Amino acid sequence: MQNDLTAQVFELIRSASVDLSPDVEKALIAARDKETEGSTERGTFDVILQNNKMARDNNTPICQDTGTLIFYIDIPRKTDTMPIEEAIKEAARQATKNFLLRPNAVDPITQKNTKNNVGEKAPYIHFEQWDKDYFRYKLMLKGGGSENVGTQYTLPNTPLNAGRDINGIKKCVVDAVFQAQGKGCSPGIIGIGIGGDRCVSYLTSKEQFFRKFGERSPDPVLAEMEIDLYNTLNKLGIGPMGFGGKTTVLEVFAAKACRHPASFFVSISYMCWACRRKTMIIKNGEVQYD
């Protein structure tokens, strides 16, 4: 049973690392087609698309930065989570040994690399109980370059002249994407967390990357904001890798969480074009990947 689960999680990691999801691939092709024939921008998208095909065919990582492993797992009530944690750690060790993951867990005091992606709070695992009788594992591989350009604002914000309203939120997002330029491996996917405390705000922004491209927020105000920001941000002309061009962001996802009356956080998480996340459902012993 335990061995089965390790193998299933290993496959989840493998597919996230080497096989970019169809919705992301489709957005990259559309972005390529918007650029002029023979331009550096179009050439850059061609290289990206060629790389993704090679990674899939050769079973090697899309990007050498295989990121931080972030698991969100929905579990039936009263599930013992210990065996799941153990299976995830073992799968991470095996995936590192098989060159599907780079050893990316470093002790911040000794600077020693654990060499197997397992260590304190690594991989990061978040469990949530739900009313269903089956399991859903969501995995994201979050690259470091894009993580470094993520940022958090508090409203009101004097330098941006931004208040506690929709336009104030939009200003934070425009500023974050402008400051990032091409450094987060643009075109990026923008996750926005509105409200919460500092932690919840950032978590909310990052969880959005599990959404499928084109999936709008159920909240009509946020859905409109997502579309509006997508159009606005693509006017910045930063383009792929910051070479200039028509596509600076591939998607914008926003979500909210209740805030303390005194606080108003707007958090922006940036995901590189190599938006690697996959889902695995285990139901009555049957495994499905998406």
Partner 1 sequence: MIKLTTPISEEVIRNLKVGDICAITGIIVTARDAGHKLMVEERPGFLDEYLNGGVIYHCGPVVKKEGEKWSFVAAGPTTSAREEPYQAKVIESYTVRGVIGKGGMGEKTLEACKNYGAVYFHAVGGCGTLLAKSVIEVITVFKLEEFGAPEAFWVCKAVDFPVIVTMDSHGKSIHADVKKASNEVYTKIMTELSAK
Q: Which of 2, 36, 148, 288 binds partner 1 (CB under 8 A)?
A: 148
Provide the token pair at 169: 């939120």
Q: Which stretch binds partner 1 (CB under 8 A): 36-44, 83-91, 120-128, 277-285?
A: 36-44
* x/- track of binding to partner 1 for residues 104-133 (CB under 8 A): x-x----xxx-x------------------
| Phi-psi category of residue 41: left, alpha or beta, with phi > 0 → left and psi -120 to 50 → alpha | alpha
Give the C-alpha separation, 28 to 164, whole Å: 34
Q: Which residues of 151-180 are buried (b: 16+ CB within 10 A; e: fewer)?
A: bbbebebeeeebeeeeebbbbbbbbbbeeb
Q: Which stretch binds partner 1 (CB under 8 A): 8-16, 70-78, 240-248, 253-261?
A: 240-248
Q: Does 241 bind partner 1 (CB under 8 A)?
A: yes
Which is closer to partner 1, CB of 55 or CB of 203? 55
Provide the token pair at 226: 């997502």
Q: Which of 8, 183, 200, 282 binds partner 1 (CB under 8 A)?
A: 183
Kindly determine how many residues on this chain lie close enough to bind partner 1 according to the rule CB under 8 A: 57
Binders in 246-275 for partner 1, by CB under 8 A:
272-274
CB of 35 to partner 1, least distance (A): 14
3-state helix, strand and coil shares in percent for the chain, rounded to the nearest 5: 40, 25, 35
CB of 159 to partner 1, least distance (A): 11
Give the C-alpha separation, 223 to 137, whole Å: 26
Q: Which stretch binds partner 1 (CB under 8 A): 72-80, 86-94, 174-182, 212-220?
A: 174-182
Which is closer to partner 1, CB of 127 or CB of 178? 178
Give the C-alpha separation, 216 to 211, whole Å: 9
Provide the token pair at 117: 């992606």
Nearest to 209 by CA among 9, 48, 16, 6: 16
The dihedral of CA 233, 234, 239, 241: what is its sign? positive
Burial class (CB in 10 A: 0-12, 13-18, 19+), 2: exposed
Half-sphere exposure of 9 (CA within 13 A, CB side): 31
CB of 206 to partner 1, least distance (A): 19
CB of 130 to partner 1, least distance (A): 34
Q: Does 65 bind partner 1 (CB under 8 A)?
A: yes
Q: Does 141 bind partner 1 (CB under 8 A)?
A: no
Footprint of partner 1 (CB under 8 A): 40, 43-44, 47-48, 50-51, 54-55, 58, 60-66, 99, 101-104, 106, 111-113, 115, 143-145, 148, 160-161, 167, 170-171, 174-175, 178, 181-183, 185, 232, 235-244, 272-274
